[in-house]
Amino acid sequence: MNTGLSGKSERAQPASPPSAQADVAAVLCEHPAVCDAVACRRSKPGDEGMVAFVLANESYLDDVMGRKDAASSQVRRWRKTYDLTQLAKTASASPLAFNIAGWNSSYTRQPLAPEDMQEWVQTTVDRISTLAPSEVLEIGCGTGLLLLRLAPACKRYVAVDFAPAVLMRLREQLAQTGDLREKVELLERSADNFEGLVENSFSTVIVNSVAQHFPSQAYLNRVIENAIRVVRPGGHVFIGDQRNLLLLEAYAASVEAFQATPEVSVQELRNRIDRRIQQEQQLVLSPSYFLLLKQRFPEISRIEIHPRRGTRDNEMTRFRFDAILWVKTESPPPAGIPFFDPPGEGWSLNDMRSRLAEQKSDAVGFARIRNPRVDGDLRLLVRLASADPQQLLAAMREELARSEARGIHPEEIVRLAAETGYNVAISWTACYPDGSYDAAFIRQDSPKSSAFPSVNWPQPTSAAFVYCTNAPGQAEIRQRLVDELLSHCRTRLQGKPVPASLRLVDALPRGADGRVDCQALLSATR
Amino acid sequence: MENKLAIRQFIERLLAQKGDRQPFRDSDSLILSGRLQSVDAVEVVVFLEEQWSIDFTQIGFDHNQIDSVDAILALIESVGASK
């Protein structure tokens, strides 16, 4: 059994603690960089070292370790990146309301197909429109792909962007739109600058496809804290088009395998995938990040996590999701929908159709539906893990091409619901590591039915909360902190056991008994 | 010659920061090939703005303009820039 002793939580103190772990946790918590810490002992034969897990003090990382300076520099680079996109000829020649300069595919490094972007824009606008926005604050409005479609139905639309060349293009477009100019206000500023924006003054804050350019989780936390402040009771914060951390490895494998030539070996491909993950420059979030927000901000009444809509096959539909936060809203309690686990071979559309036909109550849920959008990428990862390192990618590609994608496409689920008289909601709340999703079918004539029904979604395991985001561009700073904390342990615990390794985590999940769940921490750590 | 050396040294440093110490020819694609990402391209742009006073707001911007050492040299020459 793994035991976990947190250094700062009284609830976590057991009756008779194993002293070595308790000593380590207590010593770590003396350090100003540490908010809380726990030491766990691996109990696998042959791997019995102690691992320390630390919740770092974000202010210490920012101010003492120099992360704030690095973050400012990162924001400046992104600003310049976006400004440069608007200096291209394609930007000035764009049709009204469809300036997609700078939207490039990670696979081809070429501009995304206009059809992909049209679907991306339309599905986003549809989802936000369902929230009935009237007074909108959009953070990171870019060239107005959403603004120019949403603003006509709004009373007021405040749009923020940090890139002056981008806003210049948007102003040019607004000049052609007549009455929109009267209700749209453009502000050139960074995303975390809420100066002059009044509390409770917006129905909806939109942060779409922007948070990946934030330099750290702490920065995103600040933006969300302020977004919640300016949203009035009953309003929403829409954080859309977020890259899913749970699928980061699948994404990296997918892109690297696409770009590799056939003579690349398995070992070389593995190296490239690892390098891509290590050098990731964007903030990538697990859905669990949003679920944890509810503990941090009691104003959040409800959270929904939806995979992206769309039939096009691209990196947005495969790897991204939308998170919607309901702020200070009196929501009905979640409908007690029974969720069925999948049969051994996974759900099929026929299975689901039969269940729906037999269904007596007005709602039913299907858990863990395999996701064909990413099935090929996950198969590739599995195959890479066991393949001969010298095998060539060409042979593996042939092998993988022979297998069909398993699972049910989310858009097929939507069609099935429409055919059978149901509305359906699809969720990534459960944080399945393979991109599987849950679906709740509610009869169209049921009082529970709505555009965003309140559903008792299956919940993630504790391990899903251990790592909620990556830390782009912070590898060196975080390694320095780890070294400093291990050195602190060695100095303060002379002659006593010290941890063999130390991990910076986003949460120290606890079991029902209040003790930190070491099993979850160890299982989430590779 | 001096320009080429300065550009090569800058790009070598940029690649090394990413752990890429593979050699590159003057004609090799750096951005469109993926060895440098769009955020790295910003570093190249800032370098050209600072060292040769190239004003991209005047001439427009395209990744092809800075995709290789040869392309960068041609850009410097085409705008008549000097250090």
Indicate whether B83 belongs to any domain: no
Query: The whole model's pTM is what?
Result: 0.93
A73 touching B (Cβ < 8 Å): no
CA distance B4 to chain A (A): 24
Alpha-carbon dihedral A446, A451, A452, A453, rounded to 10 degrees: 0
Contact B39 A275 (CB under 8 A): no
Predicted local confidence at residue A15, as pLDDT: 33
Predicted local confidence at residue A450, as pLDDT: 85
CA distance B38 to chain A (A): 7
Contact B62 A89 (CB under 8 A): yes
CA distance A88 to chain B (A): 5
Which of B18, B34, B42 is nearest residue A77 as measured by Cβ atoms?
B42
Number of separate domains in chain B: 1
Q: Give the residue from chain B lying closest to A281, CA to CA.
A: B39
pLDDT-based confidence at A48, cuts 50/70/90? low
Contact A84 B61 (CB under 8 A): yes
Per the rule left: phi > 0, alpha: psi between -120 and 50, beta: everything else, A96 is beta
Predicted local confidence at residue A17, as pLDDT: 46
Residue ranges of E strands in chain B: none
Nearest to A205 by CA among A155, A275, A131: A131
Contact B61 A87 (CB under 8 A): yes
Indicate whether B53 belongs to any domain: yes
Interface of B with A in 49-78 (CB under 8 A): 56-57, 60-62
The residue segments making up the domain with residue B32 are 2-78
Q: How many C-beta neighbours within 10 Å does residue A131 have?
A: 19
Q: Give the residue from chain B lying closest to A104, CA to CA.
A: B38
pLDDT-based confidence at A7, cuts 50/70/90? low
Task: Supply the DSSP string of A55-87, one letter for each residue.
Answer: EE-HHIIIIISSHHHHHHHHHHHHHHHHHHHTT
CA distance B69 to chain A (A): 19
Residue for token digits 């002293």? A19
> Who wins on pLDDT, A11 or A43?
A43
What Rg do the C-alpha atoms of chain A give, in angstroms?
Answer: 24
A88 touching B (Cβ < 8 Å): yes
| pLDDT exceeds cutoff 90 at A116 | yes
Tell me how long chain B is. 83
Predicted local confidence at residue A10, as pLDDT: 41
State the Cα–Cα distance between residues A426 and A410, nearest whole angstrom.
Answer: 8
Predicted local confidence at residue A321, as pLDDT: 98
Listed as ranges, residues in chain B with pLDDT below 50 are none
Contact B45 A80 (CB under 8 A): yes
pLDDT-based confidence at A455, cuts 50/70/90? very high
pLDDT-based confidence at A45, cuts 50/70/90? low
Contact A279 B34 (CB under 8 A): no
Nearest to A24 by CA among A497, A413, A444: A497
Residue for token digits 């699948």? A250
Contact B45 A78 (CB under 8 A): no
Contact A279 B32 (CB under 8 A): no
Task: Supply the DSSP string of A299-348, one letter for each residue.
Answer: TEEEEEEEEPP-SS-SHHHHHEEEEEEEES--PPPPB-PPEEPPPTT---
Which of B19, B37, B46 is nearest residue A281 as measured by Cβ atoms?
B37
Instruction: Write the pLDDT tens digit of every residue in A203-219.
Output: 999 999 999 999 999 99
A89 touching B (Cβ < 8 Å): yes
State the Cα–Cα distance between residues A21 and A18, nearest whole angstrom.
Answer: 6
Instruction: Give the H or E element holding residue A136.
Output: strand A135-139
Predicted local confidence at residue A287, as pLDDT: 98
Give me the CATH number covering residue B9.
1.10.1200.10
A165 touching B (Cβ < 8 Å): yes
Question: Does residue A238 contact residue A128 with C-beta atoms inside 8 Å?
Answer: yes
Instruction: Write the pLDDT tens digit of every residue in A231-264.
Output: 999 999 999 999 999 999 999 999 999 999 999 9
Which of A88, A104, A281 is nearest residue B61 as measured by Cβ atoms?
A88
Using CA atoms, how far residue B35 sits from A392, B12, B23, in Å, is 22, 11, 11
Q: What is the mean pLDDT of residues A289-311?
A: 96
Contact B62 A104 (CB under 8 A): no
Q: Please name each of the domains of chain A with its CATH number.
A: 4-56+470-524 (3.30.300.30), 76-244+284-327 (3.40.50.150), 339-461 (no CATH)
Per the rule left: phi > 0, alpha: psi between -120 and 50, beta: everything else, A46 is left
Task: Tokens for A379, please give them.
Answer: 């198969």
Predicted local confidence at residue A448, as pLDDT: 82
Indicate whether B69 belongs to any domain: yes
Instruction: Write the pLDDT tens digit of every residue in A394-429.
Output: 999 999 999 889 999 999 999 999 999 999 999 999
Question: Does residue A505 contact residue A34 with C-beta atoms inside 8 Å?
Answer: no
Interface of A with B in 269-288 (CB under 8 A): 275, 279, 281
Using CA atoms, how far residue A257 sits from A189, A244, A273, A391, A392, in Å, is 38, 19, 9, 14, 11
pLDDT-based confidence at A150, cuts 50/70/90? very high
